[in-house]
């Protein structure tokens, strides 16, 4: 019997044994009763595949384009915070693995490594495909936000992913019970220069909840999307959309893409699963915006379902973290490679030769 991890679930099980309890719970948990967390995965399984037969699938093309840049597969790395809790190399390891496989890495504002250092690590491995996106929050102090945008532009990032579903932090009970705080020696590296790098333990709630409440602007509106567009030459993705009307508003206010996302089930418990929200959003803006989706993607078959429902690509977060915890850059490469291999096989078995041309009638839901 092999002990080599074969699936993302295998990587998860290994990561459980390797991560400190506080770190694992931070990565794995959802809000409140975690119904949306579980629902994200379950929703993909409810989407049934309708494979075509007698189609030439002797050669499959998994490559696609995202915001005009070619990537080796429609699986991108989602922004996840505090990666150095999983491995000493943290975001640097993730960047190297994403670059080597030729896909996009999205760096979190709440990274434990500076955006400049991550850019350097990515570019050292970068080939003809891939790209770097920077995930952004809008801070109460707009000067901090503007500074982050300017740094991302100077470091050569290709797009900004604006998170819009976190006016406050969802109540993640595992973090509350653990009294979550960043371990000694780690900080929100991109904000150290602004005196905002510490996430300390807080009484009555998690340190991160207190940090977000103090730092992020809950008065954010669509006018702020226009403001962001006005201060950058980079395309802006609006991340956290689950409704058709919000997707249309994103298009009307200058976004280049939307990410159908419920923050991995970590914000509003009971929020619609992203697989269930995706068709409505795609139908609303398919001719105006590129649509991406995250949340609960654990198999290559889930990626195929997302493509059939109209997503340009998926973003994965927790699978990357489990790989990172297991073996740094090699573990991240393993996680991404598993999803790629599973997608390749699923496409062949479903009668699809190109990831860029998966028809809607491939699925029933």
Binding residue ranges: 26, 79-81, 108, 135, 137, 163, 172, 239, 261, 263, 266, 294-298, 317-318
Catalytic residue selected from 12, 87, 253, 263:
263
**Could you tell me which residues are annotated as the binding site for FMN?**
79-81, 108, 135, 163, 239, 261, 294-298, 317-318
Is-contact 73 307, C-beta < 8 A? no
Count CB neighbours of 125 within 10 A: 16
Sorted by sequence, the CB contacts under 8 Å of residue 84 that are 6+ apart come out as 90, 91, 112, 113, 186
Q: Nearest Cα to 164, choosing from 219, 94, 97?
A: 219
CA 61 – CA 365 distance, rounded (Å): 26
Sorted by sequence, the CB contacts under 8 Å of residue 105 that are 6+ apart come out as 76, 77, 94, 95, 98, 99, 118, 122, 130, 131, 132, 133
Burial (CB < 10 A; 0-12, 13-18, 19+), residue 1, is exposed
Burial (CB < 10 A; 0-12, 13-18, 19+), residue 244, is middle
CA 149 – CA 134 distance, rounded (Å): 9
Q: How many residues does the chain have?
A: 365
Asked if 35 is an active-site residue, the reply is: no
**Could you tell me which residues are annotated as the binding site for glyoxylate?**
26, 137, 172, 263, 266
Q: Give the pair of three-digit tokens for residue 282.
A: 């795609």
Return the active site residues: 263
């Amino acid at each position: 019997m092999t002990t080599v991890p074969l699936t993302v679930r295998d990587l998860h099980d290994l990561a459980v044994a390797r991560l400190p309890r506080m770190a694992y719970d931070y990565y794995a948990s959802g809000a409140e009763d975690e119904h949306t967390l579980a629902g994200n995965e379950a929703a993909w399984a409810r989407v049934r595949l309708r494979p075509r037969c007698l189609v030439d699938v002797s050669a499959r093309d998994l490559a696609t384009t995202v915001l005009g840049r070619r990537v080796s597969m429609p699986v991108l790395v989602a922004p996840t915070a505090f990666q150095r809790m999983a491995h000493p190399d943290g975001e640097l390891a993730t960047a190297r693995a994403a670059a080597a496989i030729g896909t996009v890495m999205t760096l979190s504002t709440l990274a434990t490594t500076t955006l400049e250092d991550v850019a350097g690590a990515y570019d050292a491995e970068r080939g003809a495909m891939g790209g770097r996106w920077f995930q952004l929050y809008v801070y109460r102090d707009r000067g901090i936000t503007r500074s982050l945008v300017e740094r991302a532009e100077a470091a050569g990032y290709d797009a900004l992913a604006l998170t819009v579903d976190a006016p406050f932090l969802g109540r993640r009970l595992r973090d509350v019970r653990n009294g979550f705080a960043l371990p000694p020696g780690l900080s929100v590296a991109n904000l150290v220069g602004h005196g905002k790098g510490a996430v300390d333990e807080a009484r009555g709630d998690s340190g991160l909840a207190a940090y977000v409440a103090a730092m992020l602007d809950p008065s954010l509106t669509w006018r702020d999307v226009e403001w962001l567009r006005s201060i950058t030459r980079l395309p802006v993705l609006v991340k956290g959309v689950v409704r058709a009307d919000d997707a249309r508003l994103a298009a009307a206010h200058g976004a280049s893409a939307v990410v159908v996302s419920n923050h991995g089930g970590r914000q509003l418990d009971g929020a619609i699963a992203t697989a269930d929200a995706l068709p409505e959003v795609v139908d609303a803006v398919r001719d105006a915006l590129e649509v991406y989706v995250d949340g609960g993607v654990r198999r290559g078959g889930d990626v195929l379902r997302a493509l059939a429902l109209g997503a340009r690509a998926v973003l994965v977060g927790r699978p990357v973290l489990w790989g990172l915890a297991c073996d740094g850059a090699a573990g991240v490469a393993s996680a991404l490679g598993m999803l790629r291999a599973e997608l390749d096989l699923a496409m062949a078995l479903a009668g699809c030769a190109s990831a860029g041309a998966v028809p809607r009638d491939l699925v029933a839901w």
